[in-house]
Chain A
């Protein structure tokens, strides 16, 4: 590069004349000045949840999963609307054992001669109940412990974190097998005992997520601002920290609702979940496995119902995650 080019001398240097650069001014009519920092008032006000809903409405993933979940919930609340056939053992006729589809019985019969379609429909309730109430229980226990640990920190956090670790280290299935053998549970297996056991082993995950979310929010300026307004420490937790931590918790809770339904079926399949007298997909799959080779259909249909239900909860969680992504908030 020749020295001529290095016109690095700045304004003060008059020895080397500066390169001629024209002073360009854009036409003001083409570049109109706007009021500094004007409030845009064209669009209707939108809260974060409102904005998330606006995004969600357009997502096919959300629409499909929400539709499927609505169907599943409707089936579990009003199974009678979907099938008039009595699926209980008393109504089953052994004459129909392992029979294929027939008029009024579109999915055929089990080994016991029960209508598969009716059993799938009536089995929905116990699975959804277990999933829903386990999630509620897990949210209550895990949410409270996680929020307290994250918000107050210090020794409370240390103690709760160790307890959390202990429960986290126990595999759910193993823990459930052991717990279900305890005399108090062994003689008294219902949907609620199963919910209790799943909550005991399921809360650490939510506690961890809550703790992380709370820690992220508790140092935000708006929390400090609220505290210096005179809002109490607990008041700031309830009014500011928790609402802002909800998004990731909701996402994880939605996904784990699906996994709790799977856990219920797994335990029932292993014979340590719901008693055989309670209709559930897990029990039906377990009952059908004996005749798997000769007649796989009674096993297949509850398994499909289970998969669709679980999949739709997981898809809903994914869609929610996209819509509630905190990074998308700032724009």
Chain B
């Protein structure tokens, strides 16, 4: 240890941590008895420092943060340990004391900008409420100042608007304004941008960074995205099943993860991965073989004809505006691309880019306004009902929401059997055999057959959805944000499964996603969409290495953690 570091230590020895959590345990009383959500959690936030808690859903990261601001749900309580805010133990502080602290000492930016603003109050009134509650001047000028500091242009008139007049990004700015209105010393940001598009996310986080730096506010950032955490925080705390498994300076943690869970997390984080997933060589390989060194192993399709041709596709929706009038909204504007058999083509775009509309049209669930979709040489709009029924066998969807895509009334056997029954394939015994095979293919135990969707996790449901899609031996699978709702490790697992199935069965994927990081892992070709138009298309490597369009470049730059140095053993390029 060098002398200068010793000097540093001496200088900081007198400094008191702003927030210190020691051996925290949080329990919830549920109908099944006491459940320990958090055990032995500890973390330290120094004044002005940004600390990120990373973990999958259910890891206890939000619970820990909520305990720090005294907002645990009614059935939760701090069972043991201390939460020291500026030296004062607030783990069991009175509600009165917590009210004093909230707002002007500890601020909070909640997760969902759509539901966390009161829809019947003007934005300005909601900011004023915060100022008033903390005894600060709350005239219209003060409100406008707070809002403009959060990066809302034209804050004076914006303050008179209602939340529904704001976009998602603007609402999140308003929430940040409310969180920082009283210049708290600690800001807790719970997944502040996970509901936003990547480019907006980047803007918001940049601005949050700038503001907290100016004010000297410490930030406790809660996120599921390791790349984002490492990019934005000085220190990263990794939580797993209610326990802190690793913590340390963010870059060091990323480059030299020690705990096996952190190692898995680093290996699976799509934003940090640089290369395409290969079909895992063996079944059950979870992390190590996932990031194969080069492109050499890409499955070369036997027949390399275009299974799907999209030609000048357009979809115009009529929006009703007043009596008898309607305005046209062009959701998909004259796009053309081809999909080669046995490959993966990704359509990337932010919300509202029309990518899901394309998927719906390819699935023949929406009729194009003009243009053609040619599947295996046949224009799909000319199919009669019998041919359409046959077409349905060959093109199958997998949807985003693992909670909505399976009928909660059907057990897993009925769910996977339904396509077989609908198409009158085989008898009862052979269908059951097929269902068992399919469950094996998606690496679920055969006993899952008797279960119901509500008993399975998101990733498991998504695997059931894949099994259902595979039941009819389709040629093309349309994945509409199929992995977006899943935790990183589970997402990696499902992506691996998809890659492996592709190499084994020669499937063609049309992958609709907003997440460029995932695209890099799975796609051969990329189509970038912006506001209904196709702005760029090309092989994944070309698009990632030399994007031609500004929009593509902006999207690529916005991937959190993309600019970070990778650990040497991971960065194989």
Which residues from chain A contact B50 at a C-beta distance below 8 Å?
8
B249 near A21: Cβ-Cβ < 8 Å = yes
| Residues from chain A with Cβ under 8 Å of B259 in the complex | 25-26, 28, 31
Query: Are B490's CB and A45's CB within 8 A?
Result: no
List A contacts of B423 (CB < 8 A).
Answer: 229-230
In the complex, residue of chain A having the shortest beta-carbon distance to the beta carbon of B402? A221
0 or 1 for each of A14-56: is its CB under 8 Å from B? (1 = yes):
0001111111111010110110110111010111100100000
A226 within 8 A of B: yes
CA of A33 to CA of B260, assembled, Å = 7
In B222-261, the 8 Å CB interface with A consists of 234-235, 240-241, 243-253, 256, 258-261
A222–B243 CB distance below 8 A? no
* Contact call A37/B459, Cβ cutoff below 8 A: yes
Q: Across the interface, do A225 and B397 meet the contact criterion of CB distance under 8 Å?
A: yes
B485-519 vs A, Cβ < 8 Å mask (1 yes, 0 no)? 00001100100000000000000000000000000
B452 at the interface (CB under 8 A from A): yes
Kindly state whether residue A330 has any CB partner on chain B within 8 Å: yes
A-binding segment of B4-12, B121-129, B334-342, B542-550: B4-12
**Contact status of A17 and B5, CB under 8 A, knowing A6-B213, A41-B445, A45-B411:** yes
Q: Say whether, besides A26-B244, A36-B493, A37-B493, A20 and B392 are in contact (CB < 8 Å).
A: no
B510 to chain A, nearest CB (A): 13
Is A26 within 8 A of B246, CB to CB? yes
- State whether A228 touches B401 (Cβ < 8 A): no
Q: Is B248 a contact partner of A21 (Cβ separation < 8 A)?
A: yes
Interface residue stretch chosen among B41-49, B170-178, B187-195, B372-380:
B41-49
Interface size on B, residues (CB 8 A): 83
Q: Which of B11, B454, B489 has the most CB of A within 10 A?
A: B454
What's the nearest-Cβ distance from chain B to residue A226, in Å?
7
**Which B446-475 residues have a C-beta within 8 angstroms of A?**
447-448, 450-452, 454-457, 459-460, 465, 468, 472
Whether A20 touches B9, Cβ cut-off 8 Å, given contacts A48-B454, A228-B396, is: yes
Contacting residues, chain A, for B286 (C-beta < 8 A): 36
Q: Are A11 and B408 in contact (CB under 8 A)?
A: no
Which residues 170-187 of A sit at the B interface, judged by CB distance below 8 A? none
- Asked if B419 and A229 sit within 8 Å, CB to CB, the answer is yes
Closest B residue, CB atoms, query A326: B408
Chain A residues closer than 8 Å to B472, beta-carbon distance: 229
A48 in contact with B409 (CB, 8 Å): yes
A63 to B207, CA, bound (A): 57
What is the CB-to-nearest-CB distance from A145 to chain B, in angstroms, rounded to a whole number? 23
Indicate whether A231 sits within 8 Å of B422 (C-beta atoms), given known contacts A33-B261, A36-B493, A221-B401.
yes
Cβ of B322 within 8 Å of any chain A Cβ, yes or no, is no
Against B, the Cβ 8 Å flags (1 = close, 0 = not) of A211-247 are: 0000000001110111111110001000010011000
Q: Are B251 and A11 in contact (CB under 8 A)?
A: yes
Judge whether A39 and B460 touch: CB under 8 Å.
Answer: yes
Q: How far is the CB of A79 from chain B (nearest CB, A)?
A: 39
- When the two chains form the complex, which single residue of A10, A21, A227, A331 contacts B365, counting CB atoms closer than 8 Å? A227
Q: A20-B8, A48-B409, A230-B393 are known contacts. Are A37 and B457 too (CB-CB below 8 A)?
A: yes
Q: Check if A31 sits within 8 Å of B240, measured CB to CB.
A: yes
Which chain B positions have C-beta within 8 A of A26? 243-246, 259
The complex places the Cα of A88 from the Cα of B253 at a distance, in Å, of: 89
Please tell me if the beta carbons of B48 and A5 are within 8 angstroms of each other in the complex: yes
Query: Does residue B15 face the partner (Cβ distance < 8 Å to A)?
Result: yes
Least Cβ–Cβ distance between A9 and chain B, in angstroms: 9
Closest chain B residue to A25 by CB distance?
B258
Q: Within the complex, which residue of B5, B245, B447, B454 is in contact with A25, where a contact is CB–CB below 8 Å?
A: B245
A162 interface residue (CB < 8 Å to B): no
> Please, what's the 1-or-0 string for B405-425, where 1 marks a CB less than 8 Å from any CB in chain A?
111110100000011001100
Please give the distance in Å from B357's CB to the nearest CB on chain A: 13
Q: Which residues of A lie under 8 Å from residue B245 when comparing CB positions?
A: 25-26, 31
The answer to whether A24 touches B244, judged by C-beta atoms less than 8 angstroms apart, is: yes
User: Digit string of B1-35 for contact with A (CB within 8 Å is 1, else 0)?
Assistant: 00011001101100100000000000000000000
Q: Does B444 contact A (CB under 8 A)?
A: yes
- Residue count of chain A within 8 Å CB distance of chain B: 52
Kindly state the separation between the CA atoms of A224 and B468 in the bound complex, as whole angstroms.
13
Please tell me if the beta carbons of A228 and B363 are within 8 angstroms of each other in the complex.
Answer: yes
A93 on the interface (CB 8 Å rule)? no
Hey, what's the 0/1 contact readout for A275-286 against B, CB within 8 Å counting as 1?
000000000000
Whether A1 sits at the interface, judged by CB under 8 Å, is: yes
Chain B residues contacting A228 (CB-CB under 8 Å) are: 363-365, 392, 395-397
Contact of B293 with A by CB under 8 A: no
Tell me whether A23 and B48 are in contact (CB under 8 A). no
Across the interface, do B252 and A7 meet the contact criterion of CB distance under 8 Å? Answer: no
Chain A residue contacts of B241, Cβ below 8 A: 31, 34
Q: Does residue B216 face the partner (Cβ distance < 8 Å to A)?
A: yes
| A230 and chain B: residue at smallest CB distance | B392
What residues of chain A lie closer than 8 Å to B44, measured between beta carbons? 21
Cα A224 to Cα B252 with chains together (Å): 46
Chain B residues whose C-beta falls within 8 Å of the C-beta of A235 in the assembled complex: 422
Q: Mark B192-228, 1 if CB is under 8 A from A, else 0.
A: 0000000000000000010011001000000000000
Q: Are A39 and B456 in contact, CB atoms less than 8 angstroms apart?
A: yes
Cα–Cα distance between A244 and B403 once the two chains are bound (Å): 14
**Smallest CB-CB separation from B250: which chain A residue?**
A11
Q: Is A327 an interface residue (CB 8 A)?
A: no
A329 within 8 A of B: yes
A229: which B residues are within 8 A, CB to CB? 392, 396, 418-419, 422-423, 468, 472
**CB-based contact A221/B392 at 8 Å:** no
A26 to B401, CA, bound (A): 34
A229 to chain B, nearest CB (A): 5
B329 located at the interface, meaning its Cβ lies under 8 Å from any Cβ of chain A in the complex: no
Nearest A residue to B414, CB-CB: A239
CB distance from B69 to the nearest CB of A (A): 21
Q: Once the chains bind, are B452 and A47 in contact (CB under 8 Å)?
A: yes
Evaluate contact between A31 and B243: CB separation under 8 angstroms: yes
Q: Which residue of B lies closest to A3 (CB)?
A: B216
Verify A230–B248 contact, CB threshold 8 A.
no
Measured between alpha carbons, how far is A228 from B251 in the docked complex, in Å? 46
What residues of A have a CB within 8 angstroms of the CB of B454 in the complex?
A: 46, 48, 51, 329-331
Given A19-B46, A33-B260; A1-B216 close (CB under 8 Å): yes
User: Which residues of chain A are within 8 angstroms of B317 by Cβ–Cβ distance?
Assistant: none
B261 in contact with A330 (CB, 8 Å): no
Residue B399, interface by CB 8 Å: yes
CB of B460 within 8 A of CB of A23, answer no
Could you tell me the distance in whole angstroms from the C-beta of A44 to the nearest C-beta in chain B? 9
A42 CB to nearest B CB, Å: 11
Q: Which of A224, A235, A331 has the largest count of B CB atoms less than 10 A from its CB?
A: A224
Q: How far is the CA of A45 from the CA of B456 in the complex (A)?
A: 10
Contact of A23 among B212, B258, B422 (CB under 8 A): B258
Jot down 27 A-B pairs with beta carbons below 8 A, ordered by A: A7-B49, A8-B50, A8-B209, A8-B212, A20-B9, A23-B246, A23-B256, A24-B247, A25-B245, A26-B244, A28-B260, A30-B40, A31-B240, A33-B260, A34-B241, A36-B286, A37-B457, A39-B447, A48-B452, A221-B399, A224-B399, A225-B468, A228-B364, A229-B422, A229-B423, A230-B392, A230-B423
Query: 13 additional contacts, CB 8 Å, given A41-B447, A224-B365?
Result: A1-B216, A17-B5, A19-B12, A37-B459, A39-B448, A48-B454, A225-B399, A227-B365, A229-B472, A230-B422, A240-B407, A243-B409, A330-B403
Give the 4 A-B CB pairs with smallest separation, nearest first. A23-B248, A230-B392, A221-B405, A25-B258
- Chain B interface residues (CB < 8 Å from chain A): 4-5, 8-9, 11-12, 15, 40, 44, 46-50, 209, 212-213, 216, 234-235, 240-241, 243-253, 256, 258-261, 264, 286, 363-365, 389, 392-393, 395-397, 399-401, 403-409, 411, 418-419, 422-423, 444-445, 447-448, 450-452, 454-457, 459-460, 465, 468, 472, 489-490, 493
